[in-house]
Chain A
Amino acid sequence: MRIRLKVWRQENQQDPGKMMTYVLGDINPHMSFLEMLDTLNEQLLQEGSRPVEFDHDCREGICGQCGIMINGRAHGPLKNTTTCQLHMRSFKDNEEIVIEPFRATAFPVKCDLKVDRTAFDRVIASGGFISVNTGQAPEANSIPISSPDVEAAFDAAACIGCGACVAVCKNSSAALFTSAKISHMVLLPQGEIEAQTRVRSMVDQMDAEGFGHCSNTEACEAECPQQISVLHIARMNYEYNKAQVLKK
């Protein structure tokens, strides 16, 4: 198949950037979207131009490193699918595809489609963990957890940290990302002890990073490759208010 690409090109953080148009003549519909970009880059390389920089690594939907806006949608047209798991069979012959980086104040563009998502790391570092040192753990079966509880915690823990939720949110809110970690921890007995300090510091850090507020449009859940539910945001708000009320 033949496709026309409009790709965001930006040399570095200071460069204002612009859209560039490329045409690819011979695309196999079974190619993954990123393999299509590989093909584009091979073409650019042969022309002596600088290939398009884009983030990717595992190419099996789990590392969370890939992530671009495709025709205005985070990770493209399929539901619950990362960019790397998208295949060209989801596009039509002669289609024009617009490719842009994930955009948010807290995710500055580094080059072309590569963005800086280290803000997420700082949110986790502020409290997204259970404070247990190596060697302190009790026998695993001494903490029985009901299967539905652990499955619910898993649903939240499945987040891959790709940032699609932020990119698709009109306020660039990281509420879904942050709440998923808070939910994962608070749904488990091991994580309950630190629930109050965790939620307060993570929410504060999230705000300090320049992420916006959640206004409940639920666009994040719709685009999340891991189907993380917005109900976690409700739980985060509940936990946050509880922590503020009970603050010593």
Chain B
Amino acid sequence: MLDARIPDGPLEDKWSHYKAHAKLVNPANRKKLEVIVVGTGLAGSSIAASLGEMGYSVKSFCFQDTPRRAHSVAAQGGVNACKNYKNDGDSVFRMFYDTIKGGDFRAREGNVYRMAECSANLIDQAVAQGVPFGREYGGYLNNRSFGGVQVSRTFYARGQTGQQLLLGAYQALMRQVGAGTVQLFARHEMQDLVVIDGKARGIIVRNMDTGELERHGAHAVVLATGGFGKIYYLSTLAMGCNGSAIWRAHKRGAYMANPSWTQIHPTSLPQSGEYQSKLTLMSESLRNDGRIWVPKQKEETREPNQIPEEERDYYLERRYPAFGNLSPRDIASRAAKERIDAGFGIGPLKNAVYLDFSKAIKDQGEDKIRKKYGNLFRMYEKITGVNAYQEPMRISPAAHFSMGGLWVDYELMTTIPGLFALGEANFADHGANRLGANSLLQASVDGYFIAPYTMANYLADEIKTGPIDIRHGAFAAAEENVQQFLKRLMGIQGNLGADYFHKELGKILYDKCGLSRSKEGLEAAIREINELRESFWQRLYVPGGYALNSELEKAGRVADYLELGALMCYDALMRDESCGAHFRVEHQTPEGEAMRNDEDFSFISAWEWAGVEKEPQLHKEPLHFEFVTPSVRSYK
């Protein structure tokens, strides 16, 4: 039985009590302690900068050509914080409750409360860094509302909130790089984790320009490598997003929690052809003013503007009158899929629904809409060639966010002591469904406000360890392991590129472990993924050599995805209930809503690696609800 080590006591005192009693590291000792941070998104940049400021010796790694490219940059709509600036009844407790309800009561109370508690301070930090959040005419900060809640608590910087928050964190990081407290290793990809005497002691990285392998030792390793939604191939993620760092750590003993819980975002652009590499997201904030509908008539051929009001089905407003177009993402995506599967989909591939701004433009004027969403409308026009001020957007669900990830305790430490996982790379705060504008929040709060305390608590006992020797046998063995892996990939010399296998895997997962799942489907998916993996290791072709080689990078990531994909299916198969984004067709109400089973499944699944071809081993962390009562999640 896994223990998250959540401090006892009242909900509102847990974190302050923890902080008051956590161990500290004397400033003079910090320089002697080395920390490796993998990933430079919001979580990675913010923890690297924060630890650097405190005086630790930090090494920061990213696979992109500069830390500023990390995919946090692409988050559009906003970041939540319970400042209650709008005087509409917001509070830490309400934010905590919204988040835990939004996650369908499958997250820890202590963690979620802490995230809400730290949210207000994040806005202060970002403003101090120069993040240009939207403001009212009096000069004070403005808010917008987002899905799944009834207050306005979302701070935004036009439609580029992620970019601006990331630049704030990136600049804080570069300030430390300039000051010499952080060493930066861009275009270095983590290949393996080095574990000595049960503790994380370093990593093996590949210099992606020269192909050389390097050993780096540390007293603690942080994985802030984001989510693995790109496993579906078609997703809203960047092309380089991958699950390899956490997967290799998993194979070294870190448990993976709730790996099958993937958020399918309701407002992405639909797929238009086989060549497609990416599904571009349209911010959820558009649902504030856009109304979602499909024609009431199947096989509708008229242009959207020619379909009269009474022949349109505003299905979210119809099914969920209280939240309407602002229903949470899992519900909105599933409702879209239901209409599309029932034959009401629109567009050339009949795979989309309309997102219509005509009413908002009529009520508020085009200028006001342009001011709020101008960049999104421009982006839409660039991609589709359609002017959304004049006709509705076409949108469709797409794989987006991994609620699952490495299992971590209250201190954000994995099952390997000294290995921490932050941001989307861990599983901690979102339960079975993440609310909009909570991902930027979680990544930032983990990096700025939580890990600096919890890591100090761990590092305090590491002073006596002394420098980590990279000549240790465990480093040599890990490096040899990586070399063999790369050799094996290069040596197959088959006839299919890594993308082929990635796309095939994506199709299997989207069909059988996507918006809806069934026992038969998942069992079939496991078989199909195993076959695909065998075929990968027989037919893969990696052209080029060991130095700079994108095909080799992709091949390594796809090899990991093929194993992770199977684990996702095992997890979804084991969880014989519906909750949040995890919808098992066997468990639904007559109206098609998800049916949770608290009696049997109120736990976090944490999987232990057992080897390729072997069934992973399940561990459970029971969820205890002391302060809220799990209820049927209703947005009607």
Contacts and interface: CB of A to CB of B under 8 A. Distances in A.
Contact of A50 (B68, B272, B544): B544
B144 to A, nearest CB: 15
Contacts of B550: 51, 53
Interface stretch (B156-164, B302-310, B409-417): B156-164
A49 interface: yes
A110 B66 contact: no
Interface string A36-64: 00110110111011110101111111111
Interface of B: 46, 49-50, 53, 64-69, 71, 73-74, 83, 85, 121, 123-130, 132-141, 157-158, 160, 163-164, 167, 170-172, 174-175, 177-178, 184, 186, 209, 238-240, 272-273, 275-278, 280-281, 379, 382-383, 385, 448-449, 452, 495, 497, 499, 541, 543-544, 547-551
A183 B339 CA distance: 48
Given A133-B53, A137-B127, A150 B277 contact: no
Across chains A and B, which 6 residue pairs bring their CB atoms closest together, nearest first?
A144-B139, A129-B171, A125-B178, A137-B128, A137-B124, A154-B132
Nearest to B550: A53
Chain A interface size range: 35 or more
A188 interface: yes
Given A117-B65, A144-B140, A134 B132 contact: no
A215 interface: no
Interface string A107-120: 00011001011101
A85 B379 contact: yes
A151 B160 CA distance: 12
9 contacts: A42-B499, A51-B544, A62-B163, A130-B129, A140-B123, A140-B141, A147-B136, A154-B164, A184-B132
Contacts of A191: 130
Contact of B74 (A63, A81, A114, A184): A63
B160 A39 contact: no
A118 B238 CA distance: 20
A157 B130 CA distance: 9
Contacts of A190: 127-130
Contacts of A60: 74, 278, 280-281, 379
B68 A45 contact: no
Given A51-B551, A153-B130, A190-B128, A141 B275 contact: no
A143 B124 CA distance: 10
A89 B384 CA distance: 10
Contact of B497 (A42, A65, A188): A42
B64 A31 contact: no
Interface centre among A31, A85, A147, A190 (most CB of B within 10 A): A147
Give the interface SS of chain A, mostly helix, strand, loop or mixed.
loop
Interface string A136-149: 11111101111100
Contact of B277 (A34, A48, A87): A34
Contacts of B499: 38, 42
B543 A48 contact: yes
B280 A118 contact: no
A62 B281 CA distance: 12
Contacts of B449: 134-135
A49 B379 contact: no
Contacts of B278: 59-60
Contact of B273 (A31, A110, A135, A136): A31
A211 B587 CA distance: 62
A12 interface: yes
A147 B137 contact: yes
Contact of B69 (A65, A144, A145): A65
A121 B45 CA distance: 14
